[in-house]
Amino acid sequence: MRVATWNINSLNARLDRLLTWLAETGPDVVCLQETKCAADDAPTDALAAAGYETAAAGTGRWNGVAILSRIGLESVAVGLDDQPEFDDAAEPRAIGATCGPIRLWSVYVPNGRDVGHRHYRYKLDFLAALAATVGPGAAGAEPFAVLGDFNVCPTDDDVWDLAEWPGTTHVTAAERDALAEVERAGLTDLFPRPLKHDWPYTFWDYRNLDFPKNRGMRIDLALANPAFEAACTDAYVDRNARKGKGASDHAPVVLDLDTTDR
C-alpha cells in the first residue's frame, strides 16, 4: 500500500501534473494541502476518472486540504476540535478520513508569517488543537497518521542553513515545542528511515534558484502511531516531482506500507 502527502499549491492549476504523477507513482491515498479551491470546485470528475474518490475542504482562496483515495473514503471529518479562528473564520486546514485499513489526517498548519505577528499565535494555537484532536486516534490500535505541511522544521538539520533564518518562523523553539506536543499525543516522525533518495528537504522557495541549489527545508511531515509505523517499510521524498516548469514549491512525501495483516 502506498500513501503520500503533497502541498500541491493549487489543485486546479497543477491538475495535469498531479494526474501524471498519480499514474506514474500509483499511490493508494494522497493527502493534499494548499488546494486553493472551494470544495465544490475540486476536480472530482477528473480524479474519479483516474480512479480516486475525493474528500475536500476549501473556500476558493487560500488554504484548502483534500484526501484522494482509491481504496475507500469513509468517516470524513473536516476541521479540528476547538480549531482556532483567524479573522473570525475557521480556515479549511484539516480533513480526516478512513481509507481501507488506515485512518489519516491531511493538515496545513498556518505559516505564522512573523514571530511578532498574530498569525504566529494562531499557528501555535492550531498546533495545540491538532494535538488534542489526534490524541484518541494516535492511541488506537488501527494504523493512524497525520500527514501534511506543518510549516515547522523539526530540527536544525531540516533547514539548509539555519543562519539564514535568525529569529524567524519555522525554526523557533515555541513552534518546535508545539510540534513536539503533537508527537507526544502518540505519534512518531517517520524520518529518518532507509531512503530511496538522499534528499531530505520537501520545500524549496521559487526565488533565488533555491531548488537547483538545494536550499530547502523539511516541513512536510508524516507523523504516525505505532501501528502505522510498524507497517511502514519505506519513506522518501519524490524530488523529481518538484522539477520542471509549473511545479509546486513542495515535493511529495511517499510512504510504503505492508498492511497484509490488517
List the domain boundaries for the chain.
Answer: 2-257
Written as nine digits, the cell of 199 is: 534528499
* CA pair distance 27, 159, nearest whole angstrom: 27
* Range with the poorest average pLDDT among 63-67, 96-100, 113-117, 163-167: 163-167
pLDDT, position 125 = 98
* Mean pLDDT calculated for residue range 1-15: 98
157-167 tens-digit pLDDT? 899 998 888 78
Averaged confidence pLDDT in the chain: 94
* CA pair distance 244, 108, nearest whole angstrom: 24
Written as nine digits, the cell of 216 is: 530547502
**Which helix H or strand E contains 189, and what residues bound it?**
strand 188-189
SS3 101: coil
Indicate whether 122 pLDDT > 80.
yes
Indicate whether 196 pLDDT > 60.
no
Going by C-alpha positions, the residue among 102, 11, 142, 128 that lies closest to residue 65 is 11
* Mean pLDDT calculated for residue range 136-142: 96
- Residues 6+ positions from 15 with CB-CB distance below 8 Å: 43, 46
Q: What is the CATH number of domain 2-257?
A: 3.60.10.10
26-47 tens-digit pLDDT? 999 999 999 999 999 999 999 9
Neighbours of 162 (CB within 10 A): 13
Q: What is the DSSP string of 131-151?
A: HHHHHHHHTSSS-EEEEEE--
SS3 103: strand
* CA pair distance 199, 201, nearest whole angstrom: 6
Does residue 192 have a cis bond before it (omega within 30 degrees)?
yes
pLDDT, position 193 = 54
